[in-house]
Amino acid sequence: MNNVIEIKGLTKIYNSSEIKVKAVDGIDINFKEGEFTAVVGPSGSGKTTFLNMLGGLDRPTEGEVIIGGVDVWKLSSRKLIDFRMNNIGFVFQSYNLIPVLTAGENVEFIMQLQGRPKKEREVRTKELLEAVGIGDRIKSRPSKLSGGQQQRVAVARALASKPEFILADEPTANLDSAATVGLLELMSQMNKKFNTTFIFATHDQRVMDKARRIVTIEDGKILKDEYFERE
C-alpha cells in the first residue's frame, strides 16, 4: 500500500530562553493509507511537537515531511495554508469549533473555504453529521452541545474537507470515559468506512487499546512501533 506520509530525520529544537530543548529528535517513520495509529508517550515526550510538524503547523529544525509526494516544509507559507486545508483534517483537544456557528455551519465552513458548491456542502454536512451520530443537532451552537458531541462535530469537520489523513492531538483529554470510548469508536468506524488515515496522540490507555498501530515516543525518539490486530 502507498505511503501517505513519509518522514525523514524529523527534528525540532526549541531555543527558548537559555536551555535548548530537543523536543523531537531525528524521527524516521512512514504512515500508510488507512492506518489507525496512536502516538503515545508520557507528557513532554514530544507528541504534540511531532504532530504539529506533521500537520504543517510547526516548522521542523531539520528533516522532511512528505505528504502525497509533496515536501510540505518547502511550500511557501501561503501555499502551506491551502495545503493544510485540502490535505489534513484536524481535531484538537479544545477550541475546535467556531462558537458563533452551528454544528452544521462549522462543518460546512471548511468546505466553503475550499470553494465547494453550496449543494454539495449541504448534502455532505448532513451526511457527515448523521455519520458521527448527531444529525439532529445540526442547528445547535457548540455551547449547546456536550464535550463529546463537540468532538464528534470536530471529527465530521475534519472529514468534510476529504483530507489525506486526520491528525488528532489528545482529542479525548477533556472527555469523560463514556464519551472517550464513544469518540474512539466513532473514529475507528470512520477510519473503516472512509478508509481515512488517522493519527492521534494520547496517553490514555483506553484510547491506545483501540489503535491498530502504536508508536511510542520518549524524549523525542521512537521507542517502539507495534502493530495490532483488532476486531
Partner 1 sequence: MLLSISWRNIWRNKVRSLVIIFSVALGIFAGVLAGAFFKGLANQRIQKVINTELSFMQIHNPGFEQSSDFANFIGNAQNIEDSLLKIPNITGVTRRMIVQGMAASAETAAGVLISGVFPKDEKTVTTISKKIIDGEYFDGIKRNPVVIGKKLAEKLNVKVRSKIVITIQDIENNITSGAFRVAGIFSTDNNMFDESNIYVRFNDIQKLTNFPVNATHEIAININDDENLSGILASVKELTGNKLDVKTWKELSPEMSYLTESMDMFMYIFIIIILLALLFGIINTMLMVVMERTKEIGMLMAIGMNKLRVFSMIVLESVLLSLTGGVVGIIIGAISSKIGETHPIDLSMWAQGYQQLGYDAFVYTQLDPSMLIKITILVIITGVIAAIYPAYKALKNDPADALRIE
Ligand X SMILES: Nc1ncnc2c1ncn2[C@@H]1O[C@H](COP(=O)(O)OP(=O)(O)O)[C@@H](O)[C@H]1O
Residues binding partner 1 (CB under 8 A): 48, 52, 55, 57-58, 78, 81-82, 84-86, 90, 92-96, 98-101, 105, 108-110, 112-114, 157, 161, 170, 173
Distance of CA 164 to the CA centre of its chain: 11
Q: Is 207 in the site for ligand X (CB under 6 A)?
A: no
Site residues for Mg ion, 84-103, by CB under 5 A, read none
Instruction: Write the CB contacts of 80 (distance below 8 Å, at least 6 apart in sequence).
Output: 56, 72
Q: Return the one option of Mg ion, partner 1, ligand X, none that residue 99 interacts with (CB less than 5 to 8 A, by type).
A: partner 1
Site residues for ligand X, 25-54, by CB under 6 A, read 41, 43-49
63 with 27: CB under 8 angstroms?
Answer: yes
Shortest spacing between CB 229 and partner 1, in angstroms: 33
Shortest spacing between CB 79 and Mg ion, in angstroms: 27
| Nearer Cβ to partner 1 (78/230) | 78
Which of helix, strand or coil describes residue 187? helix
Shortest spacing between CB 58 and partner 1, in angstroms: 4
C-alpha distances out from residue 104 to 89, 146, 191, Å: 17, 15, 21
Distance CA 54, CA 51 (A): 5
DSSP 226: E
Q: Return the one option of ligand X, Mg ion, partner 1, none that residue 137 interacts with (CB less than 5 to 8 A, by type).
A: none
Q: Return the one option of ligand X, Mg ion, partner 1, none that residue 41 interacts with (CB less than 5 to 8 A, by type).
A: ligand X
Q: How many CA atoms lie within 13 A of 147 on its CB side?
A: 14
Shortest spacing between CB 48 and ligand X, in angstroms: 3
Shortest spacing between CB 2 and partner 1, in angstroms: 24
Shortest spacing between CB 22 and ligand X, in angstroms: 8
| Nearer Cβ to partner 1 (32/118) | 118
From 5-13, 44-52, 80-88, 217-225, give the range in contact with Mg ion by CB under 5 A.
44-52
Can you say whether residue 204 is alpha, beta or left, with left for phi > 0 and alpha for psi between -120 and 50 degrees? beta
What is the full DSSP assignment across 109-168? Answer: HHHHHTT--HHHHHHHHHHHHHHTT-GGGTT--GGGS-HHHHHHHHHHHHHHT--SEEEE
Residues contributing to the site for ligand X (CB under 6 A): 14, 16, 21, 23, 41, 43-49
